[in-house]
Chain A
């Protein structure tokens, strides 16, 4: 199927984004992973999410390029190579063992349960069902989401303040 091809594309570009030495190239490779995710949303019949993912990906690309441009990376030699690699693979192995137990309980691909969504269908008559769920049934959730976004923006304003600190030292 097409979705497997797109996932393999995403995995290849994720490996490239992790492993490339140049920072600007790795940021662009991560953006390619996001573009693949946008195509996957289109194939999986979620057009709202495809639009949102594409736009958010553009914003993240501008932001990360702003963070990495004109900044050189001194070549660092990895100290404690053995210990870091061993601990990383232990974490990945623990995660995969949890997956092995969780995979038995999942439904098969292509047959969702839709136990809760049936109630939404009965009460919703407008066109876009996803937007109706977000606004008409979970509006307080949307309010909390905007609160989280604004907490992050206040955090940005607080981190970027006070330019003159370097002079005082």
Chain B
């Protein structure tokens, strides 16, 4: 009962608990198999960010930050940025990256997803109601 006070109603929470894994798996699928099917790194990253935003809208900010803490966000973003640079510079010189397309797409999707989640968390945490009283 105490859990129902923050966030939306009980129906929304139950449906979110059922569908959140499917959305996350669909985002990973879109970004991982994009070399042969429609999709891409950016669409997969935005879907991954939308799944965490879904948790944030349904359960409140604290639960979403407990699932995905700041250290995990920063370390994932740093690793994927290094990976993108390591793949982009040889490609600019002229190397063929045909086998590296799934790795690069996963790196781009992690980067975009974590960044958008960070921006929405900034919009939600620094709410105007705190400074108005």
Contacts and interface: CB of A to CB of B under 8 A. Distances in A.
Interface size class of chain A, counting residues whose CB lies under 8 Å from the partner chain: 35 or more
A104 interface: no
B35 A51 contact: no
14 contacts: A48-B40, A59-B46, A63-B123, A123-B96, A128-B35, A128-B36, A131-B35, A131-B40, A134-B40, A140-B89, A146-B108, A146-B111, A156-B122, A163-B128
Task: Point out which of A52, A126, A130, A150 has the most chain B C-beta atoms below 10 A from its C-beta.
Answer: A52
B64 interface: no
Contacts of B92: 139-140
Given A135-B105, A139-B92, A153-B118, A164 B131 contact: yes
Contact of B87 (A126, A139, A160): A139
Main secondary structure of the interface of A (DSSP, over half): helix
Interface string B45-68: 011011001000100000000000
Interface of B: 30, 34-43, 46-47, 49-50, 53, 57, 81, 84-85, 87-89, 91-92, 96-98, 100-101, 104-105, 108, 111-112, 115-116, 118-120, 122-123, 126, 128, 130-132
A96 interface: no
Which 3 A-B residue pairs are closest in the complex by CB-CB distance? Answer: A127-B36, A47-B38, A139-B91
A48 B38 CA distance: 5
B42, B53, B100, B131, most chain A CB atoms within 10 A = B42
A146 B112 contact: yes
Contacts of A137: 91
A164 B130 CA distance: 9
Contacts of B104: 135, 139
Contact of A136 (B40, B41, B98): B98
Nearest to A165: B131
